[in-house]
Amino acid sequence: MRVNHTGEIAAQALYHGQALFARSEATRQLLMDAARAESDHLAWCEARLHELASRPSVLNPLWYAGSFAIGAAAALAGDRASLGFVAETERQVEGHLDAHLTRLPAADARSRAILQTMRAEEIAHGATATSAGGVPLPRVVRALMRRTAAVMTGTAYWI
């Protein structure tokens, strides 16, 4: 659950960075709406961490700062690219959540319910971004996003 919490920190930062440099008010509003949903996810993950007698990653401030910068860079490429970045991020998050759901103990119904709800909302964010004009990202960008996420999730698991 610590990894999911860190992912929600990063998601908020991405959306905040993107919203700051969005060119249109409609894109800015879409990003801020998504950030509000991510704050719900963050609260659910944090509460579940406490229930499991665990703690958030101590590196979360670093992940927030880095993700904010990545979000800002995505926005500087234009709203369509920025929305494509949202769609690709959410697609990758969906994959992460699918993998996590397969590894959860069958008895952990509380975590499963949280992750399933988050998964449905992440899919909706991606679909909204695509329908708002998001464009597919180049393969190299998608691969870099996967590698960055792997570093973050691998590190957040332990630290």
Specify the pLDDT at position 68.
Answer: 97
Spatial contact of 146 and 88, defined as CB atoms under 8 Å apart: no
Please write the tens of the pLDDT for every residue from 72-127: 999 999 999 999 999 999 999 999 999 999 999 999 999 999 999 999 999 999 99
Specify the pLDDT at position 39.
Answer: 92
Mean pLDDT of 46-71: 96
Specify the pLDDT at position 60.
Answer: 96
Structural domains in the chain, CATH included, are: 2-158 (1.20.1260.10)
Q: Rounded to an integer, what distance in angstroms lies between the CA atom of residue 142 and that of residue 139?
A: 5
**45-62 burial, b for 16+ CB within 10 Å, e for fewer?**
bbebbeeeeeebbebbee
pTM: 0.93
Residues in the chain: 159
φ/ψ of residue 22, rounded to 5: -60, 145
